[in-house]
Structure formats: structure tokens, C-alpha cells
A and B are shown apart, each in its own frame.
Chain A
Amino acid sequence: MIGLYSPGHSLLHRAPTLLKLAVLSAGVLWVGFLGEPWQLLIALGVVAGLYLLAGVPARAAWQQVGPILWILLIAVPIQALLSGWVPAAVMALRLLVAVALAALFTLTTTVTAVLEGFQRLLRPFGRWVDADRVGLLVAITLRCIPLVAEIVTDVLEARRARGTQSSLLALAVPVVVRSLYAADAIGEALVARGLDD
């Protein structure tokens, strides 16, 4: 979801997030019930059609769906040996359709839209959960992933530059310490930006 959004104005981009989420859930569930390879092939065709409709660049789509092919490369022969080629094909197609559908959701939905969707979902439970706060928590978590990744890279570099031998502790301690400093600074910035409630 971080940086995976592929900008566009297609029907899929404009569709309400919760509707997309509902269709995605129903679609994945439905695929689970389809037992014949030809049915799944049709489903795969439909998903491919949706990708075309969304106008997602082939590269972005491949980045999402490609990794699952590696898993299938190992899982399909094993499944085929254990229970035959047809169940193996069904399993592979199911996974492919489900992953491709989920990736399509990610590619056509901004983080903000996902957050708003979640907040709307949580609103009926307003008495128990503060929807805005949960949304913000998710957004900041997403934002912090690259931040922590950067800290880890920095610490690894510093360690290499100083020639310290590899010990997990020598990596973990500075990463944790610096992450806590960053957390303090982000907290301060949140307050400064008006999030003091």
C-alpha cells in the first residue's frame, strides 16, 4: 500500500472504497468455491479484464502478482505429486486470482481512501472505538515503515564503516534507540500540526 498506488481515473479508481473492499471479499470467497479449472480460468480472465479497465501499467501489476508465481513454482509440483495435476491447477489458479484481485485493490486505492473506508466501517462502533484515531494510527504506522527501514540502513552502514563485527545486539540497540528518538520527534511534530487531542 505504501507507494504502490497507481494513479488513474478509471471506474475502479473512482469506485467507493468500501464497495471495492466488499467486492474483493466476495470475489476471493467465491473463487474458493469454484472447483473446476475452466471456471477459474474464466475468473482469471475477468480479473485480467479489470486490470485493463483500471489501466494499471504492466510493470506495476507484475510487481504485485509476480512474487506469487515463485511460490507456485514450488507449490504446484508438490501438490501435483501428492494429489494430481487437476487439484494443483485449481489451487494455483485460486491463489493467482485472489492475489491479483487483492493487488488490484491496492493499486487503485489511495491510503487516504482506505483510511476513510476503515473509519466509516468503525463509525457504528463509535461508542467504543475512536475511528479517526484508529485511522491515524494506521497511517502513521505505514509512514513509519520506510522511516525505520532507513534507520536500519543507516545503522548497518555505520557499523560497516567502523568495522564492527556482526552481532545482533550491535544492530538492535542503536536501531531501537534511534527509533525511540524518532518516535519522540514525530510525537512533537504531531502536536505542532494540531493533533494534540
Chain B
Amino acid sequence: MSTIVFDGVSHSFGERRVLRDLSLTLSERRIGIVGANGSGKSTLVRLINGLITPDAGTVTVDGLLVTKNAREVRRRVGFIFTNPDNQIVMPTVEEDVAFSLRKRGLSAAEIAERTRAALDRFGLTAHATHPAHRLSGGQKQLLALAAVLVGEPQVVVADEPTTLLDARNSRRIADLFRAMTQQVIVVTHQLDLLEDFDRVICIEEGAIIADGAPSVAIDAYRALLA
């Protein structure tokens, strides 16, 4: 498992302080992050692969400073967004998966083979040559997952990956997250997804208010909502 360390991290958007002096070490296999809208969860996970640079403090992944080694860190950390439409950048399904393998020094045959395997794993083989925009919402999120996992990251970070999905599709995505061999860090409002996770962190107004076993942190979050 990789070790992700936040050291004294603060971040603001304009006047609004979203994270305040946060220190955190993440090394468990499956970590959930919960909190209200605007609590700073998304900002927190975006710091892990350098999508956001902190105003103060440092973030490291396996000792690599994210701000200095962004490219290497992003290769290790795959990121799943809430809206797969924004994540799909190529016109057809297989092209989008193959896109993740660009500039890795792989041969065309190798790229085709890995793409095929990834599509097969996510049940998208029949759609390989279809335009990505014609897929259903659930299939788009599966494509986003396939495109991230084909790059064989060590860590998968997901920012509310099931928020836009119906109950069946969100269960399917949740099952896939459970079955992943990678280290997984998931921000979600779907609390049942986190029940068997190793650690859950609850964030409120940019600070950690609960951190520990899922039951503990989820109870703290529920108490906050009440």
C-alpha cells in the first residue's frame, strides 16, 4: 500500500478557507471520506494527485512531493470524477481507454491488448467501437473506471463516483471498488458503501471531526446531520 501524508495543509478559495492546518497519514487499503457539501472533501482528495496545490503545507505520496513530482504521482494515483462525461476525452469507448496508455512507451499491439482486457473486465467489449457519448450514465462511469485502471495505478481516488447513478449502477460501482486490489480512497454520500472499509474520515468545515472505524466515523457524521 502507498502512504499518503498531508502535513499542515491549508487551502482557501478566495476568502473561503476550505482546509485548515490539516495533518493526516493515509496508508490503509480502503479509506472512505464523508462530510457535507462544501466541507472540503473534494479539495482534500484533489490535493493527492496535485489537481489543487495547497496554499500552505505539503502532500506526499510514498515520499514523493506532489507539487514537485506531479507526473510520477499521477501515474501512481488514478482519479475518478463524479461526472464521467467530463472524464471521457476521446470520441469512442476503446479510444478513450487507450488514451490512458499514451506516452508510456508501449507498442500499439500492447495498447490494443490491454485496452481489450480492460473493456472485457468492465463488460464494455460490445461497446468498444461505439461513440462514448451514447453510453448510459452507468456505462460511462464503468468506462471512466476502465480508463483509469488500465493505467495500473497503485491508488484509486474517487470523488463521489456514484452520486449521478441509479441504485443498481451505484451498487455495481460499489462492488467494483470492494473488489479492487488497489488502495482505494473514496469520497461518498453513499454511506453503506463504506461499511466494510478499513478507515473512514469525517470532515466538517475543513477539519477532521472523526477518524477511525467506519461505524465510529459514520455515526459522528450522522450525529452532525441530525
Chain A residues with CB under 8 Å of chain B are 1-3, 5, 7, 110-112, 139-140, 142-143, 146-147, 150, 182, 185-186, 188-194, 196-197
Known: A146-B133, A192-B49, A196-B74. A111 touches B92 (CB 8 A): yes
Q: Are B95 and A185 touching (Cβ within 8 A)?
A: no
Count of chain A to chain B residue pairs whose CB atoms are closer than 8 Å in the complex: 87
Q: How far is the CA of A6 from the CA of B133 in the complex (A)?
A: 17
Q: In the assembled complex, which residues on chain B have CB atoms less than 8 Å from the CB atom of A186?
A: 86, 89
Please pick, from A5, A140, A147, A197, the residue contacting B133 in the complex, using a CB distance under 8 A: A147
- Is B134 part of the binding interface, using a Cβ–Cβ cutoff of 8 Å? yes
Q: In the assembled complex, which residues on chain B have CB atoms less than 8 Å from the CB atom of A112?
A: 90, 92, 95, 98
Q: In the assembled complex, which residues on chain A have CB atoms less than 8 Å from the CB atom of B201?
A: none
Q: In the assembled complex, which residues on chain A have CB atoms less than 8 Å from the CB atom of B85?
A: 147, 150, 182
Q: A185-B86, A189-B79 are in contact. List 15 more A-B contacts (CB 8 A).
A: A2-B131, A3-B130, A7-B129, A111-B91, A111-B92, A143-B89, A143-B132, A147-B85, A185-B81, A186-B89, A188-B86, A193-B89, A193-B100, A194-B75, A196-B71
- Is B23 part of the binding interface, using a Cβ–Cβ cutoff of 8 Å? no
Q: Are A139 and B89 touching (Cβ within 8 A)?
A: yes
Please pick, from B71, B83, B90, the residue contacting A139 in the complex, using a CB distance under 8 A: B90
Q: In the assembled complex, which residues on chain A have CB atoms less than 8 Å from the CB atom of B71?
A: 194, 196-197
Q: Are A189 and B91 touching (Cβ within 8 A)?
A: no
**Which residues of B, 91-129, contact A by the 8 Å Cβ criterion?**
91-92, 95, 98-100, 102-103, 129
- Is B206 part of the binding interface, using a Cβ–Cβ cutoff of 8 Å? no
Q: In the assembled complex, which residues on chain B have CB atoms less than 8 Å from the CB atom of A5?
A: 92, 129
Q: How far is the CA of A17 from the CA of B123 in the complex (A)?
A: 30
Chain A at the B interface: mostly helix, strand, loop or mixed?
helix
Q: What are 26 A-B contacts with C-beta separation under 8 Å? A: A2-B91, A3-B130, A3-B134, A110-B129, A112-B92, A112-B98, A139-B89, A140-B89, A143-B91, A147-B85, A182-B85, A185-B83, A186-B86, A186-B89, A189-B79, A189-B86, A191-B74, A192-B49, A192-B79, A193-B89, A193-B100, A193-B147, A196-B70, A196-B71, A196-B74, A197-B71
Interface residues on B, range: 20 to 34
Q: In the assembled complex, which residues on chain B have CB atoms less than 8 Å from the CB atom of A194?
A: 71, 74-75, 100, 102-103, 151
Q: In the assembled complex, which residues on chain A have CB atoms less than 8 Å from the CB atom of B100?
A: 193-194
Q: Are B90 and A111 touching (Cβ within 8 A)?
A: yes
- Is B5 part of the binding interface, using a Cβ–Cβ cutoff of 8 Å? no
Q: How far is the CA of A62 from the CA of B129 in the complex (A)?
A: 20
Q: How far is the CA of A111 from the CA of B98 in the complex (A)?
A: 13
Q: Are A190 and B89 touching (Cβ within 8 A)?
A: yes
Q: How far is the CA of A194 from the CA of B71 in the complex (A)?
A: 7
Q: How far is the CA of A146 from the CA of B151 in the complex (A)?
A: 26
Q: In the assembled complex, which residues on chain B have CB atoms less than 8 Å from the CB atom of A1?
A: 91
Q: In the assembled complex, which residues on chain B have CB atoms less than 8 Å from the CB atom of A142?
A: 91
Closest residue of chain B to A194, judged by CB? B74
With both chains docked as a complex, state the minimum distance between the C-beta of B170 and any C-beta of chain A, in angstroms: 20
